[in-house]
Amino acid sequence: EEDILNVFEVAKKQFGGVDVCINNAGLGYSSTVLEGTTSDWKETLDVNVLAVCICTREFVKQMRERGVDDGHIIVLNSMSGHRITPLTSGAMYTISKHAVTCMVECVRRELREKKSAIKTTAISPGLVRTEFRGRMFKMEDIEESKRDYDNIVKDPVEAEDISSAVVYALSTPPRMDINDIHIRPTHQVY
């Protein structure tokens, strides 16, 4: 939490505050509910859920302090936050991403209750060619794990595709709030 608070303090001092908050941290372990370790679970929940909540809270707090009410919160979630993955080894990751799905909608509703114009967008990718899978399954060759996506699905989504969705959400007019974007490779089944 202290690291996050420091980032917002630096942003406030150097730039006068933050107008857009993009929550893009996330991790997962190959860990089931019945056999996973508590330390892996805690780290997954700390990064995937609590850090997103803290960043969101501090962002809105800074916006209010400045009297600004037209910011944008973007959360990079996951399709795992909308369904149960076929791999039971990703259970805690899936649980954490379901919590993020709920959190984003709760924040949107809280902002509407406060008559705030701050937007909330959750972008939930499916399989994206990144190092995530290699890190989750502790593969030795991270670059090889990125190439391995071609063995899982034809034409996996690329990181640039996700960043284009971020740009799209940010480019919408004030009257329009894109709440959820689900992105999967065309050939991804689940």
Annotated catalytic residues are: 93
Provide DSSP, 138-160. T-S-HHHHHHTHHHHSSS-EEHH
With contact defined as beta carbons under 8 Å apart, do 82 and 125 qualify? no
110, two tokens: 């809280």
Cβ atoms within 10 Å, residue 135: 14
| Burial degree of 116 (CB within 10 A; 0-12, 13-18, 19+) | middle
Report which residue type is found at 135: R
The secondary element (H helix, E strand) that includes residue 33 is none
Provide DSSP, 57-123. HHHHHHHHHHT----EEEEE--GGGTS--S-TTBHHHHHHHHHHHHHHHHHHHHHHHTT---EEEEE
CA distance 135 to 162: 19
